Amino acid sequence: MSTTTPLPTGLLRPLHAEQVRWGRGFWQEVQQRTFEVTVPQMWRSLSNPEVSPGLQNFKIAAGRESGEHVGPPFMDGDFYKWLEAAIAELEVEPQEWLADTVEEVAQLIASVQREDGYLHTPTLISARANGGVVELSDRFAFETYNLGHLITAGVRHYEVTGSTTLLNAARKAAGYLEDLATNKPVELARSAICPSHYMAVIELYRVTADERYLRLAEAFVRVRDDFDGGDDNQDRLPVREQSVVAGHAVRANYLYAGLADLVAENGDDGLRTVLEGLWDDVADTKLYITGGCGALYDGASPDGDPWQWEISKVHQSYGRAYQLPNTTAHSESCANIGMILWSERMLALTGDAKYADAIETIAYNSLLAGIGLGGNDYFYTNPLRQVRDLPYPLRRPGDTALDPVPAPPPSDERLRQSYLSCFCCPPNTARTLARFHERAASVTDDELYVHLYGGSDIRVSHGDRTLALREDTQYPWGEDVRFTVEEATDGGIPVRLRIPGWSRGASLLVNGEPAEVSAPGSYVKIDREWRAGDTIVLSIPMPSRVIRANRLAEEVTNQVAVQRGPVVFCLESTDLPAGMPLERIALRRGTELQAEDGEVAGHRMQVIPVSLSVLPRGGTDSLYEDLSDDELEVVETRLIPYYAWGNRGQSEMSVWLPVVW
């Protein structure tokens, strides 16, 4: 019973599964893998106390079993994210076992919730055992984060199933947040870590049309603006005074996504302008070529205070402009997903194709890199370079009191894992991919916008006018995207197709006749009386492009990356001769880069065979040494899509390669 809810001041409205599906092609295969492998495998982990405390914590909180809370304080939210992925599967491909499981879980969650709407299993379990536990006493307990994901899951559960079990829990949770905003605003502001509740209460407003939830979202901003915080949580400055994105990347992206939702409802043009500037700051100076966000494992807040001894630590954060390290890139999967959430909301507000370009970049690169090709193992961080024998451990999630997981060995193998003790990213990836059909297209009152290509089926209506399109394409490997009109009543509605910002020389045929194409990074409008059988063919040339970075991105000075269409490629040492170190490999300018069909770990995809130069061997491990004048050698190898790296065991990898002439 999904609905398309109007956004009063927003330009574009999202579509749900009865209006858009991935019917075939690249994204259908990814989503099918998500439903067949990721969602059930993740449930097996979450429901097995020997692997994960996810379900067990709720059972203990409900009094069904005895024990103590186990896992990080945000584990509830991670469990809700899996639930959202499962609900999306029920919408697209219902499974009886999954429907029964979702209903049982919904009832369990509702039974744990306190009458005032508070639900946080660490606190509830401690209160049951010891009494006297005070909620919101630790700002890093992630209570509002957990409640936000509960509300989101409750809204989706109602939209898909019609059940009010979790919707009622969502209302109660919002009521608790409303009481905090009124009576404990400082506690609410202090606890607004990873503010998923901003987006959540707007979704609750849209499904219920209850104005109190819109007012609540506005209250969140007021209490945040009155709070004297720091850069780590983006609460040092009132939001309307912010011009540079700083601090924890997940928290930043969630905050700005929620604010964009608010703008869509209340029409705050001033706040919209602020968000546009902040988004440009990230996209223009702080976004990896893979779409990765949050470059730094740990940093400081140099703008936070003039007194050096009061500078605050900033965790997994945005750095300065162009501060984009590769081996030590953090680029957490949750941050990259947060950028998708923020970008799709900015797209809805503006209709500007640059936001869809960003979503596409993240989706084909850093998002898919976070999950293995088999759909059942994961990365937490997504570096652009992996090296052997790193002489220090890269701090992974958990190497702190906040995330209690042992540090990795000094070699930092960075192998994919089926379960992470800090389990925020895998279910976030699952829910994003399970709902990825919603990002294919959207509508205004009288137009259809197609944002992403990959094999969609779209059917939309406006009044008595209906248009149904079938998309056939080999995108992102093939250059042609073909739409066939399968149904059109009263002439259908105009169609806008995105011309990717990376493209050059795109062409368009409508019923075999050439049509004008707009500039890259825009939407071409096709307005005609549609009839069943009409065709649109968008051809987007995809030569392999050699990319260089801004002069201030100093780690990649005199290096280049290879991109074909939206897909960034990398070199993995698995494809080099045994014993050949990755740091000796360089790309010769003018080298032919022609993609062809291939496979990685048994999965079909395009690869780029290439002759690469082999630089002279270094003689020592000293910090500096003389350059050898030996002749360059050549090695025949291949580049693979960045998202496919790390699926064949331990390896070195690099997106950027030195360039030689």
Cα separation, 581 vs 652, in Å, equals: 8
φ/ψ of residue 655, rounded to 5: -80, -40
Give the pLDDT confidence of 12-57 residue by residue, as tens digits.
Answer: 999 999 999 999 999 999 999 999 999 999 999 999 999 999 999 9
Task: Return the structure tokens found at 561.
Answer: 């990356």
* Positions of the chain with pLDDT lower than 70, given as ranges: 1-10, 300, 302-312, 395-413, 619
Cα separation, 344 vs 338, in Å, equals: 10
Cα separation, 661 vs 591, in Å, equals: 10
Q: What is the pLDDT of residue 661?
A: 84
Q: What is the pLDDT of residue 410?
A: 40
Shortest CA distance to 108 belongs to which of 94, 130, 124? Answer: 124
Q: How does strand 513-515 pair with strand 507-510?
A: antiparallel
Cα angle 537-566-337, degrees, rounded to a multiple of 5:
120
Q: What is the pLDDT of residue 304?
A: 59
DSSP state string for 271-330: HHHHHHHHHHHHHHHT--TT-----EEEEE-TTS-SSGGGPPEEEEEE-STT---STT--
Q: What is the pLDDT of residue 6?
A: 41
Domain with CATH 2.60.420 in the chain: 446-539
Shortest CA distance to 316 belongs to which of 300, 296, 302? Answer: 296
Q: What is the pLDDT of residue 94?
A: 95
Give the pLDDT confidence of 458-469 residue by residue, as tens digits.
Answer: 999 998 999 999
Give the pLDDT confidence of 587-616 residue by residue, as tens digits.
Answer: 999 999 999 999 999 999 999 999 999 999
Cα angle 381-382-385, degrees, rounded to a multiple of 5:
125
Q: Which CATH number fits domain 446-539: 1.10.3470, 2.40.30, 2.40.50, 2.60.420?
A: 2.60.420
Cα separation, 609 vs 595, in Å, equals: 7
Q: Are 50 and 56 in contact (CB under 8 A)?
A: no
Question: pTM of the prediction?
Answer: 0.95
Q: What is the pLDDT of residue 627?
A: 86
Residue 506: count of CB within 10 angstroms of its CB: 19
Task: Return the structure tokens found at 427.
Answer: 């279910």
Q: What is the pLDDT of residue 367?
A: 98
